[in-house]
Amino acid sequence: MMTEYQPTILLLPSKAAESATLALEVLPHGLTIHKFLVQANGQVHDIVIGSEDPQDHALQKYMNTVIGRYTNRIPAGEHTIERLGVSTSFRALPNENAEVSLHGGPQGFDSVEWTVLTSASNAQLFTPAEKTEISNLPANSYAVFRFESQEGDQGFSGKLMVEAFICLLPLSGGEVALNPQCIEIGSCVVIYRAKLDERGKSIVTPINLTQHWGFNLEASTKLECQSVKNHRLTIRADKVAELNKNKLPTGNFRRTMENKPHFHAGKKIGDFFPDEGYDDYYLFEDLHQFPPTTYPLDAFTQDFNLVNSALYPQQSKSPVVELRSDLSGIALRFQTNQHGVMFYSYNHSDPSAVRKKIHGGSATRQAGDPYDTGSAAFLEFHNPLGAFLFATNKDRQDTLLTSNEIYHNFVRCDISYSS
């Protein structure tokens, strides 16, 4: 097997309860979450859809991969950008159609091989205090990956180094622990860091990273339920992005409370399901409470530590998104410093694609048993769509990064089981 398809296996520390364990398989190819295994009530669930054979990811796009340099859709063509007095231009390459650049262009971060670092101490975008924090975790519970995007890659400006830290750890408690029927399984934390290589000059580039992972909490049950329409979804968002005919952002938002399909307050996904499915960006409430995505370089002193708050968040903080299944009893609760989430309901099925054996498939291409449309809830946490396009975001959360800053993006997924 080629090294880019050789999975790095992460395991929940052994002190976790024997009845509830957690494991990840992460591929260097596209930083792909190939398997997300949850053992609950004596059964193993793989809670992400996708291929059986890691090498099949070469034949499909955006299946549980990272997305970069820029997630979702922006207009193809030339753009002039400026942040904090630093300006440049870049050319977004078309790939969805002649007018739209999707998910970072034709060969985005999802298509490349990431380097697995042999030690957290080799990371360059984490401080000494953060690397100590990481190294104190059990050795098989985490990994750090790196990719260097060259200047002009997919038309983007500047040479960009990106590192990703992924780990599993026991749940630290909180509101879930108050329910005696709820078993805390563990947490998955993903942290992205990025920095421009300025080489003595000031530069600016767009960046908006996310993990394009598609969840189905029932596909591994004995009923082999493909649809996620009976999953219950909560998104603590008061606004949903307005899109034009090419699904490009207009910069405007609509209120979710005034739109039943987009008011996700624990309703079943299938209730008020749009004819074309969901492919929508939701802006979270109370954004003033969210930590920043960019920090000045000089803030990253030896003792500076943002990893700690991602690993061990305040227990009183409510999740911004919750996905749960009454059938399997599994629930996912998400926290992040990103300002919103893209919810995609897998609206286009590839008839030649593979469905995993654990999900009732043959695991064979062209077998005629792919995942159906509506068989996953893709929850992609990132900052607002095309934010740099709109003057109202200037020098704020504009999804731009200068050579004087560090990019910091984290998402935390807490997994639990209720009988």
Q: Which of 50-59, 349-358, 399-408 has the highest mean pLDDT?
A: 399-408
Mean pLDDT, the chain, whole residue set: 94
Q: Two tokens at 249?
A: 């952002």
For residue 163, the one-letter residue type is: E
Q: Two tokens at 105?
A: 């262009």
Measure the N-to-C terminal CA separation of the chain; round to a whole number of Å: 40
Contact predicate 73/211, CB 8 Å: no
pTM over 0.75? The answer is yes
In the chain the domains, ranked by start, together with CATH numbers, are: 3-418 (2.70.98.10)
Residue 314 confidence (pLDDT) = 76
Contact predicate 207/407, CB 8 Å: yes
Q: Two tokens at 261?
A: 């399909």
**pLDDT band for position 222 (50/70/90)?**
confident
**pLDDT band for position 419 (50/70/90)?**
confident
pLDDT at 299 > cutoff 50: yes
- pLDDT tens readout for residues 224-276: 678 999 999 999 999 999 999 999 999 999 999 989 999 999 999 999 999 99
The two beta strands, 232-235 and 321-324, are: antiparallel
Q: With left for phi above 0 and alpha for psi between -120 and 50, is residue 144 left, alpha or beta?
A: beta
Q: Which 3 state secondary structure label does DSSP give 127?
A: coil
Residue 333 confidence (pLDDT) = 98
What span, in angstroms and rounded, lies between the C-alpha atoms of 214 and 46? 11
Phi, psi of 357, deg, nearest 5: -60, -40
Contact predicate 400/205, CB 8 Å: yes
CA-CA distances (angstroms) from residue 260 to 273, 274, 390? 9, 10, 28
DSSP state of 18: T
Residue 158 confidence (pLDDT) = 96
Give 17-23's long-range contacts (Cβ < 8 A, gap of 24+).
17/183, 19/183, 20/183, 20/184, 20/185, 20/186, 20/417, 21/185, 21/186, 22/168, 22/185, 22/186, 22/188, 22/415, 23/168
- pLDDT tens readout for residues 303-356: 999 999 999 987 667 899 999 999 999 999 999 999 999 999 999 998 989 999
What span, in angstroms and rounded, lies between the C-alpha atoms of 248 and 250? 7
DSSP state of 133: H
Residue 1 confidence (pLDDT) = 64
Q: Percentage of residues in the chain with pLDDT exceeding 90?
A: 83
Residues forming beta bridges with residue 102, ordered by sequence position? 73
Q: How many residues does the chain have?
A: 419
Positive/negative CA dihedral, 305, 308, 310, 316? negative
- Provide the CA 183 distance to its chain's centre, in angstroms: 24
Instruction: Find the angle CA(142)-CA(145)-CA(147) to the nearest 5 degrees.
Output: 170
What span, in angstroms and rounded, lies between the C-alpha atoms of 66 and 100? 19
**pLDDT band for position 18 (50/70/90)?**
low
- pLDDT tens readout for residues 45-55: 999 999 999 99
Which residues have CB under 8 Å from 279's CB, separation 6+? 247, 342, 343, 344, 345, 347
**pLDDT band for position 175 (50/70/90)?**
very low
Scanning 159-239, the segments in alpha helix (DSSP H) are none
